[in-house]
Amino acid sequence: MNLVRSFSSIGLLTLASRVLGFVRDMLMARFIGASFASDAFLVAWRLPNMFRALFAEGAFAAAFVPLFNRKVGENEGRLTEALRFAEDALSVLLPVLLLFTTLVMIFAGPAVLLLSGGFREASPEEFAFAVQLARITFPYLLFISLVSLLGGILNSIGRFWVNAAAPILLNVTVIVGLLLFNGPTQLDTARVEAIAVTVSGVLQLLWLILACRHAGIRLKIRRPRLTPDVKRLLSLIWPAAAGAGALQINLLVSTALAAGLLAEGSVSYIYYADRLNQLPLGLIGIGLGTVLLPTIARMISAGDEAGALDMQRRGLQLAMFLTLPATAALMVSAEPIIRGLLQYGAFTPADTRATALALAVFSAGLPAYILIKVLTPSFHARADMKTPLRIALISIAVNLVGNLILIWPLEHVGPPLATAIASWVNVILLYIALMRRGHFSTDKKLNRHLARLLIAALLMALALLVINRLVDPMLAGTFPSRVAGLTLLVGGGVLVYAAATFATRAFTISELKALLRRRSATKE
């Protein structure tokens, strides 16, 4: 299997989704800005989104994919037993999801209170509106959990692109809702967004069902049975939820504290900053994690520990090659980027400055967020969910303490800083655990690459300081002017980084040719 090719197919589709996501956020900023309406929607959206990240895409995928691949390996590549396991899992998962969704919708009030602290200075009517939005958005979890099961099957047979394309439907649906159905008030527009989220869940599920049928996969819903395999799956899901979702839990804590303790708009500042920070995380970290988990699981099942180690090293090298320049750009050029993307309509220059500060601090943890995605599959592929869980709990504790200490002097910048620190603690502990067990280690070649890539990223950051001043006047102008300014900013940074990687020999011509030969060989 070619790591770069599989990663590229996921990366391109994720890029399309993230670009559409930014269009969605730009429309949201234009119509409702950083207001109570946006804060209420974001808290309501955080509820199903958190459970999606923890269970549907995080824990379920981490537990299900290795078990599914093991079934395939035990039956010499045949899918019959693996699909029977998937049907048993679906038959247990579906009623649990229906019950859980119903309960959360009934008790949406306490859930929103927990997530927001009741909102600072919100009236009873405003709080009731936030609860209404939560009830509208939460069914999304039901649909996206089923999407995760079907997507895990398709990922296991190498059809990564189908699942990677599904989030595009979310962004397209919300964009259509904002453009065609935005209401006369900001609250009406926020309600339209909430409805669009759940509609998109239905569309994503239909997309995965059609893709599975095209691949000859048709799952039947059977009478729920706790078979040994299903019991094993359930025993792995709960520790994997915290282990794979530490970042989401940390963001949830940050959102709740910001909503309850800080001024109106703080939740939105953190959200917009996180959305930009999530772009490289989605393209690099999630893409690599999606490819690495089934690949490493297959290698370990076949007894190829050396191949698994080499695959993980290649994944780390590729991750840092793409992550370090993204980190430098988001830290150095946070304010110009926010101004060019969001500052118009209801989004003010003060909102830009506040969001840019949060983005710069979030980005300090970007390499850690992505390294977690690269290192965690090594545990999950070996069905070890408890070690990432223990490490995640330490990370969550660090984040909570950091929030409580930093939110008072730094206000809305405190939670992003606490999240970044907690993520570095997480990745350091993951690395130490893998190294002690002999499951991962760096070598001289990898260390040399990483040092040179860091120098190249620093050279790019220095160049961006100059480019920022040149393009800044363009980024508050007309739409064509903004596009031209952002193009010069991004393009200039990319060119400097490319030149710096070759100048420092972090990436040589011979290595590039070898990479292209591997891709060509795979395509043939």
Q: Express each pLDDT in 459-475 by its tens digit.
A: 999 999 999 999 988 88
> What CA–CA distance (Å, rounded) separates 491 from 30?
26
Instruction: Give the model's confidence band at 136: pLDDT under 50 very low, under 70 low, under 90 confident, else very high.
Output: very high
More confident residue, 90 or 316: 90
Residue 521 pLDDT: 37
pLDDT at 421 over 90: yes
pLDDT computed for residue 332 by the predictor: 92
* Cβ-proximal residues to 132 (8 Å cutoff; 6+ apart), any chain: 191
From residue 163, alpha-carbon distances to 52, 157, 184, 208, 209 in Å are: 14, 12, 36, 7, 11
CA distance 156 to 221: 21
Higher pLDDT, 382 or 488: 488
What integer is the mean pLDDT of 319-337? 90
Which residue would you say has higher pLDDT here, 80 or 492?
Answer: 492
State how far the Cα of 473 lies from the Cα of 470, in Å rounded to an integer: 7
**Mean pLDDT of all residues in 298-308:** 72
Round to whole Å and give the CA distance between 146 and 57. 10
Q: 293 versus 333: which is more confidently predicted?
A: 333
Please tell me the predicted confidence (pLDDT) of residue 436: 87
Mean per-residue pLDDT, 376-400: 81
What is the Cα–Cα distance from 393 to 386, expressed in whole angstroms?
Answer: 10
234 vs 3, which has greater pLDDT?
234
pLDDT value of residue 283: 65
Q: What region does 185 belong to: left with phi over 0, alpha with psi -120 to 50, or beta?
A: beta
Name the token pair of 139. Answer: 């069914």
Which residue, 524, 451, 442, 455, is CA-closest to 496?
455
Lookup: tokens for 524: 């043939």
- Residue 345, SS3? coil
The average pLDDT across 171-195 equals 89
Q: Identify the sign of the CA torsion 246, 251, 254, 255.
A: negative
Interval 156-178 mean pLDDT: 84
| Amino acid found at 225 | R
Distance separating alpha carbons of residues 402 and 415, to the nearest angstrom: 8
| Cβ(382)–Cβ(236) below 8 Å | no
* Neighbour-count burial for 374-389, b at 16+ CB within 10 Å, e otherwise: bbbbbbbbbbbbebbb
Query: What is the pLDDT, as a whole number, of residue 228?
Result: 87
Domain boundaries, the chain: 3-441, 447-524
Mean pLDDT of 153-178: 84
- Crossing angle for the helix pair 186-214 and 160-181, to the nearest 10 degrees: 150
Give the pLDDT confidence score for residue 153 in this predicted structure: 83
522 Rama class: left (phi>0) / alpha (psi -120 to 50) / beta: alpha
User: Cα separation of 250 and 415, whole Å?
Assistant: 9
In terms of phi and psi (left: phi > 0; alpha: psi -120 to 50; beta: otherwise), the region of 34 is beta
Q: Are 111 and 44 in contact (CB under 8 A)?
A: no
Given a cut of 80, whether residue 240 has pLDDT beyond it is: no
Query: Tell me: the pLDDT tens digits for 500-518?
Result: 988 888 766 666 555 444 4
Q: What does the mean pLDDT of the chain come to? A: 81
Sign of CA dihedral 136, 137, 138, 144: positive
User: What is the spatial distance between Cα 272 and Cα 85, in angstroms, rounded to a whole number?
Assistant: 40
What confidence category does residue 246 fall into, taking pLDDT thresholds of 50, 70 and 90?
low
Tokens 């309501």: give the residue: 44
Is 42 buried (19+), middle (13-18) or exposed (0-12) by CB count in 10 A?
Answer: buried
Share of the chain above pLDDT 70, in %: 83
Work out whether the CA dihedral 153, 157, 161, 164 comes out positive or negative: positive
Within 8 A by CB and 6+ apart from 290, the residues are 10, 155, 160, 163, 164
For residues 298 and 245, the model is more confident at 298
- HSE of 105, CA atoms in CB hemisphere, 13 A: 14
- Which residues contact residue 232 at a Cβ distance below 8 angstroms, ignoring those fewer than 6 apart? 67
256 is written with which tokens?
Answer: 């709740």
pLDDT band of 286, cuts 50, 70, 90:
low
3-class state of residue 492 by DSSP: helix
What is the Cα–Cα distance from 435 to 420, expressed in whole angstroms? Answer: 23
Q: What are the tokens at 446?
A: 């990898």
The DSSP string of 148-217 is HHHHHHHHHTT-HHHHHHHHHHHHHHHHHHHHHH--SSHHHHHHHHHHHHHHHHHHHHHHHHHHHHHTT-
The answer to whether residue 121 scores a pLDDT higher than 70 is no
Torsion of CA 27, 28, 32, 35, to 10 degrees: -150
Tell me what pLDDT residue 518 has: 43
Helix (H), strand (E), coil (C) string for 349-390 = HHHHHHHHHHHHHHHCCHHHHHHHHHHHHHHHHCCCCHHHHH
Residue 512 confidence (pLDDT): 55
Residues 164, 10 contacting (CB under 8 angstroms): yes
Phi and psi, residue 271, nearest 5°: -65, -50
